[in-house]
Amino acid sequence: MRRICVLALLLSAIVGNSAAEALLIRNATVLTVTKGTIPNGSVLVEDGKIAAVGENLSAPAGATIVDASGKYLMPGMIDCHSHTAIEGGVNEGTVSDSSMVNIEDVLDPMDINIYRALAGGLTVSNVLHGSANAIGGQTVVVKLRWGKTAQDMLFAGAKPGIKFALGENPKRQGYVPPSVLPPGRPAARRYPGTRMGVEDVIRESFMEAKNYREDWQAYRARVARGEHPLPPRKDLRLEPLVEVLEGKRYVHAHCYRSDEILMLLRVADEMGFKIRTLQHALEAYKVAREIAEHGASVSTFSDWWSYKIEAYDATPYNVAILTRKGVLVSVNSDSDELQRHLNLEAAKSMRYGGLSEAEALALVTINPAKQLAIDDKVGSIEAGKSADLALFDGHPLSNYSKALRVWIDGHEYFDRDKDLETRPDFERKKKALEDKDNGGPRLPTRR
């Protein structure tokens, strides 16, 4: 795997730029996710979109034909919780409410983990901050268009989000060495230091946001009356919170404990906004009914817990229980490594809780698409949706399968064979650069 990544930069030039001409993938087992499985199916792609899905499709003239006999085609996977491609720190951890910071500002389209994720069939990521702050900042949904610019990676039309965090992480107060503080001033430790403090930070921020919104409303009313008042100061911290209040921005909240989940739902109800996704939410199974009532959804791990105290009371049945109780659930990675095999993470919920094959696949395709409200564009293989596709050599819910080719909007961004083919040449080029870097190939020294 490591070597795949080494190659990636070189490959981006080769595979990332194929034209979006018509493409017919035929004779595959097509896992549509929403419309069942087509054993000997074909998918026709035109202009980056899925034009038709069926059993006997004919290719228009000039179309590229991929014979996928014995192979499995699934929608490109979607990771609802990623920290990939963030440059210069995933947290602005100096303040408890850092709503002003925006992932869009710091996307690094050359992060090699993008290519590694593609190589596992992932095509869309919800890129979030870390969990150091009660309110972490503005988030974006990206397509893993490896080789393109950050702006070109943005998922057009996807609603932006904001990251919240509850529990152990945001109540860490940090440490400021007394030596850098003016004499006599106590060490400035960050508020809050308790879970109730985290609640307070969120409530306080939204109260400020409401006042801020009122100030602007009052200003606009005066302008409408023909007056020329000084506008309020534009505050980048409060702007996104106003958007949350107005339903223009989704809340993705990192949480573990059931009591905190209830707390957050109460605060949201009180302040008049919605929680879109509860992230991690390992104790969500205890409060599934309340979550469903609020209209929130859950994006969780398959079977990862006990890495800290608040993550102990967990079960791998979380996903299945929530699904059965009517909560929309996705399985996420939160990790540059896990995102490379989200399909296997999904499969675990068949073992633990007995989800069907379609339900398991949905955990990493249509469900996260619904959570991010991009299910009209991606998340299943249906005519009219974007041609984000992953071709596997076996059933993607099997440990023994691997992704062979991956397309986004009909462009091919990963091809395992081409990757393998170009490795020797790449290794040679890299060796030459290394020799140059070391001041030429090492020669025997002469005295």
Partner 1 sequence: MIRVRSGARRSPLAAAVTLLAACASLRAEVPSAIAIKDARVVTVSGEDLPKATVLLRGGLIQDVGAGLAIPQDAWVIEGAGLTVYPGFIDGLSHWGLAPVTNPAPEVHARGPEDRPQTYSFERAADRLDPRDRRLEAVRAAGFTAAATFPDRGIFEGLGAMISLGGAEVRDMVIAQPIGQQVTFRITRGPARSGYPASLMGNIAYVRQLYLDLDHYKQAKEMRQPGYDHALEGLADSPRVLLPAEQAQQIDRMLNFAPELKTPVVLYGLHEAYRRIETLKQTHVPLLVSLKWPEKPRDAGPNDTANYRLLLMREQAPAVPGMLAKAGLKFGFYSDGIDTASGLRQALKKALDAGLPRAAAIRALTLNVAEMYGMADRMGTIERGKMANLVATRGDIFEEKSAIEYVFVGGRKFEPAKEVHE
Interface residues toward partner 1, by CB under 8 A: 6, 9-10, 86-95, 98, 100-103, 105-110, 112, 137, 149-151, 174-177, 180-182, 188, 230-231, 233-237, 426, 429-430, 433-434, 436-438
Using an 8 Å Cβ cutoff, are 390 and 371 in contact?
A: no
C-beta of 146: minimal distance to partner 1 in Å? 13
186 DSSP assignment? P
Using an 8 Å Cβ cutoff, are 412 and 15 in contact?
A: yes
Side-chain half-sphere CA neighbours of 245 within 13 A = 19
Closer of 91 and 343 to partner 1 (Cβ): 91
Closer of 96 and 367 to partner 1 (Cβ): 96
Please give the distance of CA 289 from its chain centroid, rounded to a whole number: 25
Say which residues have a Cβ less than 8 Å from residue 303's Cβ, sequence separation at least 6. Answer: 316, 348, 352
C-beta of 368: minimal distance to partner 1 in Å? 24
C-beta of 435: minimal distance to partner 1 in Å? 10
C-beta of 355: minimal distance to partner 1 in Å? 37
The 3-state DSSP class for residue 275 equals coil
C-beta of 367: minimal distance to partner 1 in Å? 28
Question: In Å, how far are 114, 254, 257, 281, 429 from 300, measured between CA atoms?
Answer: 21, 10, 13, 6, 42
Closer of 244 and 390 to partner 1 (Cβ): 244
Say which residues have a Cβ less than 8 Å from residue 408's Cβ, sequence separation at least 6. Answer: 76, 123, 143, 144, 145, 386, 387, 388
Q: Whose CA is closest to 265, among 277, 249, 248?
A: 277
Rounded to 10°, the helix 258-271/195-224 angle is 20
Closer of 112 and 363 to partner 1 (Cβ): 112
Using an 8 Å Cβ cutoff, are 24 and 59 in contact?
A: yes
C-beta of 121: minimal distance to partner 1 in Å? 24
Closer of 163 and 385 to partner 1 (Cβ): 163
Tokens 């992230």, residue located: 279
Question: In Å, how far are 116, 405, 437 from 2, measured between CA atoms?
Answer: 9, 18, 22
Closer of 78 and 101 to partner 1 (Cβ): 101
Closer of 62 and 439 to partner 1 (Cβ): 439
Using an 8 Å Cβ cutoff, are 294 and 327 in contact?
A: no
Say which residues have a Cβ less than 8 Å from residue 239's Cβ, sequence separation at least 6. Answer: 99
Would you report the helix, strand and coil content of the chain in percent, each value rounded to 5?
35, 20, 45
Question: In Å, how far are 143, 272, 423 from 94, measured between CA atoms?
Answer: 30, 28, 43
Closer of 47 and 214 to partner 1 (Cβ): 214
C-beta of 51: minimal distance to partner 1 in Å? 32
In angstroms, the CA 96 to CA 105 distance is 20
Pairing of strands 64-67, 23-31: parallel
The phi and psi torsions of 254 (rounded to 5 degrees) equal -70, 125
The 3-state DSSP class for residue 128 equals coil
Tokens of 271: 């302040």
C-beta of 44: minimal distance to partner 1 in Å? 33
Tokens 């395709």, residue located: 365
Closer of 52 and 110 to partner 1 (Cβ): 110
Closer of 236 and 309 to partner 1 (Cβ): 236
C-beta of 87: minimal distance to partner 1 in Å? 6
Closer of 33 and 117 to partner 1 (Cβ): 117
C-beta of 182: minimal distance to partner 1 in Å? 6
C-beta of 235: minimal distance to partner 1 in Å? 8
Closer of 62 and 424 to partner 1 (Cβ): 424
Please give the distance of CA 447 from its chain centroid, rounded to a whole number: 59
C-beta of 240: minimal distance to partner 1 in Å? 11
Side-chain half-sphere CA neighbours of 151 within 13 A = 0
